[in-house]
């Protein structure tokens, strides 16, 4: 547990320090996220070796104290957050033009770490709020154009928090407990619980940009600075998703899971198809990547919904694999998109005409990340999709869902290869744009990691199956 | 994972083109010599390794490379007789095509990218040939799509990009269908290694509907690459790619990968008994026959030489699917021999077409008048292989068609013979005019459309760049030998018979 | 549950719903900030009411409301800052430090 707390406090103190002395942010954040990654890995090893752990902060008794708890999945997410943070800050320390970024990024990291480690409903509310405040500020770093989307993001996310908080109030009024592990033994399927679950779910769906409550995401993610877009898409939307998953898989009473699962699965399919279609149609490059996030989150919803509706444990593994694979792939894709946007000085998709000749490595990164989003073997996206598909065939009733997954594969192929095909155009351009090779390779790195998941796929899947309960 | 040489060799065969390919990506455009060296080194090493493996298999060694991937479905590379037939074909033709491509692309831009993807493409093909279970097959099947796409759009013209989009739409769609089929089979019976006689027989009683659906999905998935109608639309469009790429698509990699998938599916996954019991072969047979006739008819009307060859491929490759669908031992031997024969002949025809286009600017059928006087060696190679395609004895094409015909009679499907005869007549109708024009018509008065002289330090053949001519002659000679010495132990036919022996007499 | 408590809970839900309505309908930044604050007040009122159910007031809920107030103040501040930036014509300075 101590390692996990270290992994949480390093970025926290780095962030506070950088608020006071905003200089040399890049190197500091790279260092702090490396250390935090090391601590998180150590905590992962620890939790695998010696089982789940918990700590009550401040020496207060149970029910009163803030309880932080560490399970294998939390530790994995902790390490994953530090890894993404490291990859993004490596890239951004070459390109950053705004010192405000580094303090906020560290605080974002610390907030997420706190979110993974928290275990009671109110503490989650606090971390969710912090997450929104930091994310909104980071979106606004891009300047004038991003203020409107940032404000919109802020209001929607406040609305969502208040929905969530009202749900929490109802739960507390009904059971008198906030710790979700205790709650998970108490909940019954009465009206007030159902009401609370509905309110919390809606709130979390807005925060996690789950279709159809995703409308704030594309403008906010596409207008933000490149590194911010990457962090938001790879990590921030996963926070509410994590809470949603825990609420439904552990706390929701049996009577509700069936309906809830069906709802989530259907919404997931819509997200995949509608989000993918929007991604295919949009004329702006980063907006295309942002809509692809909306679509990909559909996989997560579908996996969660299936798990609830049919009690399919395998899909929970698929869910966590989607979270990891999407995080890495999306980081790479946003960094590559931002890099190319910088090289060509144009936000439109059509600016990428000929990018395979003029910015080959960045374009390659984009395509490789896209391959994982489509789910081409042997990428991480494929592993997740395979685990999702496999149980769908056991029962004739679920085959339509399997074909929905097939269709969504084709839709994602369409939006990725729309860009890739353009890149092979040999139309004459003006002078060759200036490139930064190191940046391009740093953008490629996360995509290589997501394909590299194939090398450890079997142990990873077996381990997740064991720990995902 | 074993560390013995029999475990490493299949992997080494795949890596022998993958590693040079990745290195080539990093080269600058002007590092011509190093690039050529790496290309040829990879091709030669692969040939040596394949020869070693052929020797090993003949001595009874088992080549297996395993690597964990999905639970209960690892990556398995496995060198059996069938996979070696495909591997040998693709590694020999890769060497020839590499030489040809170096000559063809002399002076063109973006060669590092081209040869990089070229090598990846062959690695994927070889991996696919060596794949020991469906999951591994799918993996390389998709990688093949990804590696060939940049080659199809290499020229970057609007037509090339359109062809690339169509190609992707078809092949990724096919790949997705194949994934569904494979996941379906995996969920009902697990993923086992390819075995002689198939492994699905125990599931037949309980899951016959699922097995039929999976077969439909997989045939549609593989049929896209095999260009079965109505899934053939991408192939004629992909003609905008450079000639070496067309050669690769048609003879070595993509189309063959689809057909090879069908062969694996029928013989090593479902098995003849299950196919027969579920009556899965009849639809396959009808589609294949329809494709044979349709492809030939369309080829007749094409005025562009490469397009005519492309429709000819649609038709000729379906012979293999046809032979597989007949489910008889003789037909199977014919189909497997045709896998190699068609590859050798079609690659030569595309080399020749490319050489005509590159040297003289000849793209259309009408422009071929008098080619025989200007480029006699190339035209001779073209003639040999065109006659082989028609099926004139003793050419290679005749041997495989003969066995296919016998196979049709063996399983009492006389109508199959009619399909073969009609197709042969159509083949003659679209190939003989080309040969006639080449040798017996006088060249047009206005001269060749775009004649080009090649400057090389090496000896200059009178007709064209030596690197364009020698591969044509080499593969034409191989196809001639495959026909003349079909009865010897080393011929593709003999190897096909050996595979069939194992399949039908377990 | 006494009638008084029920009354307060009804008021709380009304405030929450009114705030929600305002947030969805209003376009002006200031109106939306106020709407969010009304919504917040509704939730806090509900929490405080629930804390008064027993003769001994529940300290946990009071602690929660205090924490919530801090968050709500910071969120309001950020919203006002961004709102000002949106109105000013020139490029805004980096938002938070």
Are residues A381 and A450 in contact, defined by beta-carbon separation less than 8 angstroms? Answer: yes
Q: Specify whether A93 is located in the same domain as A216.
A: no
**Among A421, A422, A454, A465, the residue to mutate for chain B (most B Cβ within 10 A):** A421
Residues of chain C contacting residue A203, judged by C-beta atoms under 8 Å apart:
none
Q: Specify whether A313 is located in the same domain as A340.
A: yes
d(CA B132, CA B163): 32
User: B233 in contact with A at a CB cutoff of 8 Å?
Assistant: no
**Bridge partner list, B67:** B75
Which structural domain, as residue segments, surrounds residue A348? 118-467
Instruction: Give the domain ranges of chain C.
Output: 3-87
Q: Specify whether A132 is located in the same domain as A10.
A: no
The closest CB to that of B110, out of A357, A386, A462, belongs to A357
In the predicted model, what is the mean pLDDT of chain C?
84
Residue B454: predicted pLDDT:
61
d(CA B445, CA B329): 54
CATH class for the domain made up of C3-87: mainly alpha
Residue C92: predicted pLDDT:
47
**Among A369, A393, A459, the residue to mutate for chain B (most B Cβ within 10 A):** A393
A50 Cβ contact partners less than 8 Å away, ≥ 6 residues apart: none
Are residues A299 and A276 in contact, defined by beta-carbon separation less than 8 angstroms? Answer: no
User: A378 in contact with C at a CB cutoff of 8 Å?
Assistant: no
Query: Chains near A, with 3+ CB pairs < 8 A?
Result: B, C
In the predicted model, what is the mean pLDDT of chain A?
88
Residue B464: predicted pLDDT:
73
Q: Which residue of chain A is at minimal alpha-carbon distance from C13? A: A166
Mark B385-398 as b/e (b = at least 16 C-beta within 10 Å): bbbbbbbbeebbbb
pLDDT digits (tens, 9 = 90+) for A177-205: 888 888 888 888 888 899 999 999 999 99
d(CA A393, CA A103): 48
pLDDT digits (tens, 9 = 90+) for A286-326: 999 999 999 999 999 999 998 888 887 788 899 999 999 99
Longest dimension (CA), chain A: 71
Distant-in-sequence contacts of C68-76, Cβ < 8 A, 24+ apart: C68/A125, C68/A165, C68/C40, C68/C43, C68/C44, C69/C44, C71/A126, C71/A129, C71/A130, C72/C37, C72/C40, C74/A133, C75/A129, C75/A132, C75/A133, C75/A154, C75/A158, C75/C36, C76/C33, C76/C36, C76/C37
Query: What's the pLDDT band for A465 if we cut at 50, 70, 90?
Result: confident
pLDDT digits (tens, 9 = 90+) for A78-105: 999 999 999 999 998 888 777 788 989 9
Mark B90-128 as b/e (b = at least 16 C-beta within 10 Å): bbbbbbbbbbbbbbbbbeeebbbbbbbbbbbbbbbbbbb
Residue B324 tokens, joined: 């597989």
Residue A105 tokens, joined: 């990024």
CB atoms closer than 10 angstroms to residue A42: 17
Q: Which residue of chain A is at minimal alpha-carbon distance from B186? A: A390
Provide the domain count of chain A: 2
The closest CB to that of B161, out of A389, A421, A458, belongs to A421
Residue B2: predicted pLDDT:
45
Q: Specify whether A424 is located in the same domain as A370.
A: yes
Q: Specify whether A160 is located in the same domain as A15.
A: no
Cβ-defined contact of C82 to A136 (cutoff 8 Å): yes
Span C72-91, average pLDDT: 81
A355 Cβ contact partners less than 8 Å away, ≥ 6 residues apart: A340, A344, A362, A363, A422, A423
Instruction: Give the domain ranges of chain B.
Output: 280-506
Residues of chain A contacting residue C47, judged by C-beta atoms under 8 Å apart:
169, 172
On the question of pLDDT at A40 being above 50, the answer is: yes
Domain end position, chosen among A85, A116, A147: A116
Q: How far is A352 from chain B (nearest CA, A)?
A: 13
B471 Cβ contact partners less than 8 Å away, ≥ 6 residues apart: B96, B97, B99, B100, B351
Residue with tokens 């040297």: B359
d(CA A31, CA A303): 36
Q: Specify whether A111 is located in the same domain as A147.
A: no
Residues of chain A contacting residue B187, judged by C-beta atoms under 8 Å apart:
390-394
Looking at residue B202, the DSSP 8-state letter turns out to be G
Q: Specify whether A129 is located in the same domain as A96.
A: no
Q: Specify whether A9 is located in the same domain as A126.
A: no
How distant, in Å, are the alpha carbons of A354, B173, B246 from that of B115? Answer: 19, 26, 14
**Bridge partner list, B21:** none
Query: Chains near B, with 3+ CB pairs < 8 A?
Result: A
User: A404 in contact with B at a CB cutoff of 8 Å?
Assistant: no
Are residues A183 and A176 in contact, defined by beta-carbon separation less than 8 angstroms? Answer: no
User: A354 in contact with B at a CB cutoff of 8 Å?
Assistant: yes
Give the number of residues written for chain B: 506
Residue B217 tokens, joined: 């999905």
Domain end position, chosen among A62, A83, A116: A116
CB atoms closer than 10 angstroms to residue A348: 14
Query: What's the pLDDT band for A413 if we cut at 50, 70, 90?
Result: very high
Q: Which residue of chain B is at minimal alpha-carbon distance from A419? A: B165
Residue B414: predicted pLDDT:
85
Chains B and C touch (3+ CB pairs under 8 A): no
Residues of chain A contacting residue B207, judged by C-beta atoms under 8 Å apart:
none
Cβ-defined contact of A410 to B173 (cutoff 8 Å): yes
Cβ-defined contact of B156 to A427 (cutoff 8 Å): yes
B77: part of which helix (H) or strand (E)?
Answer: strand B73-79
Nearest to A134 by CA among A16, A32, A215: A16
Looking at residue C92, the DSSP 8-state letter turns out to be P
Residue C77: predicted pLDDT:
92
Nearest to A405 by CA among A328, A333, A315: A315
Span C38-56, average pLDDT: 87
d(CA B183, CA B218): 11
- Could you give the ipTM of this predicted complex? 0.88
Residue C96: predicted pLDDT:
45
User: A100 in contact with C at a CB cutoff of 8 Å?
Assistant: yes
**Distance from the Cα of residue B288 to its chain's centroid:** 16
d(CA B20, CA B110): 17
Residues of chain C contacting residue A172, judged by C-beta atoms under 8 Å apart:
47, 50, 61
Residue B218: predicted pLDDT:
93
User: B153 in contact with A at a CB cutoff of 8 Å?
Assistant: yes
Question: pLDDT of chain B along its 506 residues, tens only?
Answer: 446 777 888 888 888 888 888 888 888 878 888 888 888 898 899 999 988 888 888 777 788 888 888 888 888 888 888 888 889 888 898 888 888 888 888 777 788 888 889 889 989 999 999 998 899 999 999 999 999 999 888 888 888 889 999 999 999 999 999 999 998 888 888 888 888 888 888 888 888 888 898 999 999 999 999 888 888 888 888 888 888 888 888 878 888 899 999 999 998 888 888 888 888 888 889 999 999 999 999 988 888 888 888 898 888 889 999 998 888 888 888 898 898 889 889 999 999 988 888 888 888 888 888 887 888 888 888 898 899 888 888 888 888 888 888 888 888 888 888 888 899 899 999 888 888 888 888 777 777 776 766 655 555 566 777 788 888 888 888 888 888 887 887 788 888 888 888 766 64
Residue A429: predicted pLDDT:
62
Q: Specify whether A99 is located in the same domain as A143.
A: no
Residue with tokens 């599931």: B203
Q: How far is A143 from chain C (nearest CA, A)?
A: 6
Q: How far is B461 from chain A (nearest CA, A)?
A: 33
Cβ-defined contact of A457 to B187 (cutoff 8 Å): no
The closest CB to that of B172, out of A413, A421, A458, belongs to A413
On the question of pLDDT at A242 being above 90, the answer is: yes
Q: Specify whether A64 is located in the same domain as A150.
A: no
Number of A–C residue contacts, CB under 8 Å: 93
Query: What's the pLDDT band for A329 if we cut at 50, 70, 90?
Result: very high
Q: Which region holds residue B413: left if phi is over 0, alpha if psi is between -120 and 50, else beta?
A: beta
């Amino acid at each position: 547990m101590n390692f996990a707390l270290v992994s949480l406090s390093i970025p926290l103190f780095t962030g506070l320090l950088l608020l006071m002395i905003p200089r040399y942010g890049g190197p500091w954040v790279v260092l702090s996220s490396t250390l935090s990654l090391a601590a998180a890995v150590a905590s992962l090893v620890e939790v695998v070796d010696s089982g789940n752990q918990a700590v009550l902060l401040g020496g207060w008794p149970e029910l009163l104290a803030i309880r932080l708890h560490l399970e294998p999945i939390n530790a994995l997410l902790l390490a994953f957050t530090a890894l993404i943070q490291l990859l993004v800050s490596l890239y951004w320390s070459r390109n950053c033009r705004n010192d405000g970024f580094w303090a906020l990024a560290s605080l974002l990291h610390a907030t997420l770490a706190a979110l993974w480690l928290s275990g009671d409903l109110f503490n989650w509310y606090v971390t969710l709020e912090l997450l929104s405040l930091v994310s909104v500020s980071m979106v606004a770093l891009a300047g004038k154009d991003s203020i409107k989307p940032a404000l919109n993001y802020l209001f929607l996310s406040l609305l969502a928090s208040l929905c969530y908080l009202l749900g929490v109030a109802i739960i507390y009024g009904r059971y008198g407990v906030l710790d979700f592990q205790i709650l998970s033994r108490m909940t019954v399927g009465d009206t007030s619980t159902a009401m609370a679950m509905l309110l919390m779910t809606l709130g979390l769906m807005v925060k996690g940009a789950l279709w159809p409550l995703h409308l704030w995401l594309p403008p906010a993610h596409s207008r933000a600075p490149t590194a911010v877009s990457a962090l938001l898409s790879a990590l921030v939307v996963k926070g509410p998703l994590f809470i949603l998953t825990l609420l439904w898989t552990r706390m929701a009473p049996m009577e509700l899971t069936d309906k809830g699962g069906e709802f989530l699965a259907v919404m997931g399919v819509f997200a995949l198809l509608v989000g993918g279609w929007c991604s295919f149609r949009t004329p702006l490059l980063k907006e295309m990547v942002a809509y692809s996030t909306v679509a990909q989150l559909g996989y997560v919803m579908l996996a969660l919904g299936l798990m609830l509706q049919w009690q399919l444990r395998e899909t929970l593994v698929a869910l966590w694999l989607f979270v990891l694979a999407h995080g890495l792939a999306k980081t790479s894709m946003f960094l590559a998109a931002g890099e190319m946007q910088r090289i060509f000085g144009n936000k439109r998709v059509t600016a990428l005409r000929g990018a395979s000749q003029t910015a080959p490595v960045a374009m390659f990164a984009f395509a490789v990340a896209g391959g994982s989003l489509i789910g081409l073997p042997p990428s991480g996206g494929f592993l997740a999709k395979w685990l999702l598909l496999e149980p769908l065939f056991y029962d004739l009733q679920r085959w339509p869902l399997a074909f929905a997954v097939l269709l969504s594969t084709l839709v994602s192929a369409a939006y990725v290869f729309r860009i890739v095909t353009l890149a092979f155009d040999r139309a004459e351009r003006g002078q060759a744009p200036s490139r930064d090779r190191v940046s391009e390779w740093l953008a490629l790195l996360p995509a290589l990691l997501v394909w590299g998941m194939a090398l450890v796929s079997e142990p990873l899947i077996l381990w997740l199956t064991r720990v995902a309960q | 994972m074993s560390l013995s040489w029999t475990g490493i060799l299949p992997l080494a065969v795949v890596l022998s083109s993958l590693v040079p390919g990745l290195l080539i990506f990093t080269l600058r455009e002007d590092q011509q010599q190093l690039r050529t060296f790496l290309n040829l080194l990879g091709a030669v090493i692969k040939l040596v390794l394949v020869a070693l493996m052929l020797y090993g298999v003949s001595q009874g060694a088992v080549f297996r490379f395993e690597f964990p991937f999905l639970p209960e479905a690892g990556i398995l590379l496995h060198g059996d007789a069938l996979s070696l037939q495909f591997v040998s074909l693709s590694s020999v033709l890769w060497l020839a095509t590499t030489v040809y491509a170096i000559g063809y692309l002399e002076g063109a831009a973006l060669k590092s990218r081209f040869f990089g993807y070229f090598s990846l493409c062959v690695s994927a093909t070889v991996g696919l040939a060596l794949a020991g279970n469906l999951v591994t097959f799918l993996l390389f099947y998709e990688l093949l799509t990804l590696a060939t796409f940049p080659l199809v759009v290499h020229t970057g013209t609007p037509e090339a990009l359109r062809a690339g989009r169509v190609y992707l739409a078809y092949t990724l769609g096919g790949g997705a269908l194949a994934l569904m089929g494979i996941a379906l089979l995996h969920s009902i019976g697990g993923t086992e290694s390819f075995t002689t006689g198939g492994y699905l027989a125990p599931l037949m009683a309980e899951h016959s509907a699922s097995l039929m659906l999976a077969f439909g999905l997989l045939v549609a998935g593989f049929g896209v690459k095999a260009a079965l109608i109505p899934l053939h639309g991408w192939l004629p469009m992909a003609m905008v790619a450079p000639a070496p790429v067309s050669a690769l698509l048609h003879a070595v990699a993509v189309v063959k990968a689809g057909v090879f998938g069908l062969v694996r599916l029928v013989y090593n996954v479902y098995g003849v008994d299950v196919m027969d019991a579920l009556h899965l072969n009849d639809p396959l047979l009808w589609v294949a026959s329809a494709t044979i006739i349709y492809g030939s008819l369309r080829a007749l009307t094409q005025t562009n030489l490469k397009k005519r060859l492309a429709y000819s491929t649609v038709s000729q490759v379906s012979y293999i699917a046809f032979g597989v669908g007949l489910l008889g031992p003789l037909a199977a031997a014919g189909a497997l021999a045709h896998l190699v024969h068609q590859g050798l002949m079609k690659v030569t025809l595309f080399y020749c077409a490319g050489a005509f286009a590159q040297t003289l600017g000849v793209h259309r059928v009408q422009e071929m008048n008098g080619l025989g006087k200007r480029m006699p060696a190339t035209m001779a190679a073209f003639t040999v292989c065109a006659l082989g395609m028609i099926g004139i004895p003793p050419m290679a094409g005749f041997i495989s068609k003969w066995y296919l015909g016998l196979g049709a009679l063996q399983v009492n499907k006389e109508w199959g013979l009619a399909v073969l005869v009609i197709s042969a007549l159509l083949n003659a109708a679209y190939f003989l005019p080309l040969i006639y024009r080449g040798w017996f018509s006088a060249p047009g008065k206005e001269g060749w459309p775009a004649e080009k002289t090649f400057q090389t330090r090496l000896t200059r053949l009178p007709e064209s760049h030596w690197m364009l001519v020698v591969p044509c002659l080499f593969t034409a000679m191989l196809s001639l030998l495959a026909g003349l010495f079909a009865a010897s132990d080393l011929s593709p036919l003999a190897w096909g018979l050996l595979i069939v022996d194992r399949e039908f007499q377990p | 549950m006494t009638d008084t408590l029920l009354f307060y809970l009804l008021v709380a839900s009304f405030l929450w719903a009114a705030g929600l309505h305002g947030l969805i309908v209003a376009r002006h930044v200031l109106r939306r900030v106020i709407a969010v604050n009304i919504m917040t007040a509704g939730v806090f009122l509900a929490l405080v009411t629930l804390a008064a159910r027993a003769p001994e007031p529940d300290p946990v809920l009071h602690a929660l409301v205090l924490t919530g107030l801090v968050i709500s103040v910071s969120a309001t501040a950020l919203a006002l800052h961004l709102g000002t930036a949106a109105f000013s014509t020139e490029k805004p300075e980096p938002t938070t430090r």
